Amino acid sequence: MRFWVRHKSRTRLRVHLDKKHLSFEEAGALEEYLKKLPGVADAKVYERTADAAISLCGAQEPVLTAIQKMDFEEVLLLPQESDIQSRQLNAMYREKLIMKVTGRALRRLLLPQWIRIPWTVLQSLRYIRSGLSCLRRGRIEVPVLDAAAITVSLLRGSFSTAGSTMFLLEIGELLEEWTHKKSVNDLARSMSLKIGSVWIRADGQELLVPADSVQAGDEVIVRMGNVIPFDGEVCAGEGMVNHASLTGESVPVRKIAGDTVYAGTVLEEGEISFRVRESSGKTRYEQIIRMIEDSEKLKSAAEGRAEHLADKLVPYALLGTGLTYLLTRNATRALSFLMVDFSCALKLAMPVSVLSAIREAGNYSITVKGGKYLEAVSEADMIVFDKTGTLTAAKPRVADIVPFCPVQTDELLRIAACLEEHFPHSMAKAVVTAARERGLEHEEMHSRVEYIVAHGIASSINDKKVIIGSYHFVFEDEGCIIGEEYKDSFEKLPDCYSHLYMAVDGKLAAVICIEDPIRPEAAEAIRKLRECGIRKVVMMTGDSERTAAAVAAQIGVDEYYSEVLPEDKAGYIQQAKARGEKLIMIGDGINDSPALSAADAGIAISDGAEIAREIADIIIMADDLNCLVTLRQISTLQMKRIYRNYRQIMGFNSLLILLGVFGLLQPAASSLLHNTSTIAIGLHSMRNLL
């Protein structure tokens, strides 16, 4: 590929490709390719200029050589994850902004005043209508103030002032709309379903197939704890479906044959199969967009206070205008109150700040589903961790299989994998992965699989009941026994592993030893969280006291609780909240979902159960707990920015009003400075916090 180096330094390169411009698809594919090159920390491709800005974390020469050898046609054929829609959105709003600024400049340069004046009056009608509409509803809000300022300017013959005011208001509206749509688009894409494979029923058998191969009319099977991947109609089974991800209603809805199910909802209980109605993800994406735009989830308490204060100040501005005119009999000074208001800046800066923080979190592989959750993270002084898959490695592995019956270990593992592959838990995935690595394939040989939350799995094979799960489930709940000849082996099971027990017809058949190493960054992440203001760190797990104590000692938590059930975790969080604690919960399994819902902010690890990701308020997509530290830093800095914006808006605009009232500043200059400061604060609020 031919290219020219426009600029280079030790840590940065800017190259120009041998093209006039790039399409959105070409720019997205090239950007993705460059980001994956060794030695590249980040890359940004500009479709208009066909330039690429590359941040380096290694030597320049290998990167330049890779670009030179790159086959652009092959790059376009690579699987893309880049957001083409986001590029199109940015391009559209850049065009709008350029057209608006260029249009105003040309009108002022080319049109005579006798044409510009009627144009200004015509443009003002939109704002005046909006203000009158507010008054008809009995509300005195920002549109009333804007309409009053423009109307007074027109009546005084200050057409230039009225035109400048409207132009700056339009620019502010455009920037706010741009930032809002971009943030909503990024957020919706990150919340869209990312399901790799699904179970379908074909020719009387259950088959695991890629989700993108499913067609309308296929019969898809969904079991408890899984997300429903497509819209469709239930054809068999019965279940309770949680619609919270689409409607916000957390009470599950009973679904039976003939009922409609929707992509993105979660099957909390039971098992259903349904005929796929629409295999495209477009429906789900559009639903999320509507949900975000209509939902109050995006609004933090700080945003609510800003909007309330903005509207509350409008009557005082109008009162100030009237009093100033009565006392001074000077319309110019009275106009200062109308030309400068706090509302515009407050209503622009706060939402932009929050949405920009959500967007920035997304750059670090953190999906935040609303502004109030960022605020909750910034205020939290306590964190509750689940252990398995959260503090320990997201991918535990099978270390050993200890048989307690005369069946070979490979056959025991095959049976265990046959059951476990239906359920999205990290321990289950470890068993399935171990069977796959040993080349142990199987047909579905069991009857209906039943999952008992936080306990295990029950089914039957050849009319024999097979159960697999925790010690409590197998021995205490199910009353299984150990053969006399195997009791010594049972006592000698290694303590360094977590144990998964499998029994057939009431007798222990095997113990699968799971190696669940602690995440290497766990202790450091907890230490950094304390430095960020977290006062108390708690670990809760369903594992034994012995395992829990060993993990707690290594990572340095303040408290730990072992052998807890899902309701115990949720109960602990509710009690802590009743004491006035502000806390967040981090988990990854089906059994964590009640606690995730109960916390001020529930955080799910992306590799965990789908129901946890759907219920959680925040999802960490990266396999690194240091993302929690990044999230805490972004949320804290965001709240500082919001309060700083408050002070700047109130202080600067109050100064402008005083200067205008005392005749030291003309209304046109006040309007210009006010609107310029509003845009400046809005643009600053769009900058990255870290």
pLDDT band at residue 329 using 50, 70 and 90 as cut-offs: confident
Taking the domains of the chain in order of start, what are their residue ranges?
3-82, 91-188+297-341+665-685, 197-280, 366-392+518-621, 397-515
Q: Is the pLDDT of residue 296 over 50?
A: no
pLDDT at position 589, please?
Answer: 66
How high is the mean pLDDT of the chain? 81
Q: Residues 395-407: pLDDT tens digits?
A: 778 989 999 999 8
Q: Residues 620-661: pLDDT tens digits?
A: 877 788 999 999 999 999 999 988 888 888 888 888 888 888
Spatial strand order in the sheet of 464-469: 397-403, 507-515, 498-504, 464-469, 456-461, 450-452
pLDDT at position 202, please?
Answer: 84
pLDDT at position 181, please?
Answer: 73
Nearest-Å Rg of the Cα atoms of the chain is 31
pLDDT at position 282, please?
Answer: 46
Q: Residues 544-593: pLDDT tens digits?
A: 787 788 888 889 999 999 888 778 888 899 999 999 999 999 987 666 77
Phi, psi of 624 (to 5 degrees): -155, 120
Q: Are 220 and 276 in contact (CB under 8 A)?
A: yes
Distance, in Å, from the CA atom of 338 to the CA atom of 679, rounded to the nearest integer, reads 18
pLDDT band at residue 612 using 50, 70 and 90 as cut-offs: low
What would the mean pLDDT of 484-497 be, rounded to a whole number? 85
Q: What is the CATH number of domain 366-392+518-621?
A: 3.40.50.1000
Q: What is the CATH number of domain 3-82?
A: 3.30.70.100
pLDDT band at residue 541 using 50, 70 and 90 as cut-offs: confident
Between 600 and 352, residue with greater pLDDT: 600
Q: Are 407 and 523 in contact (CB under 8 A)?
A: no
Integer CA distances (angstroms), 471 to 330, 439, 486, 655, in order: 85, 28, 16, 70
Q: Are 576 and 583 in contact (CB under 8 A)?
A: yes
pLDDT band at residue 280 using 50, 70 and 90 as cut-offs: low
Distance, in Å, from the CA atom of 1 to the CA atom of 7, rounded to the nearest integer, reads 18
When the candidates are 1.20.120.1200, 3.30.70.20, 3.40.1110.10, 3.90.1150.10, the CATH number that belongs to 397-515 is 3.40.1110.10
Q: CB count, 10 Å around CB of 219?
A: 17
Under 8 Å CB-to-CB from 70, ≥6 apart: which residues?
Answer: 1, 33
Q: Which CATH architecture has domain 197-280?
A: Distorted Sandwich (2.70)
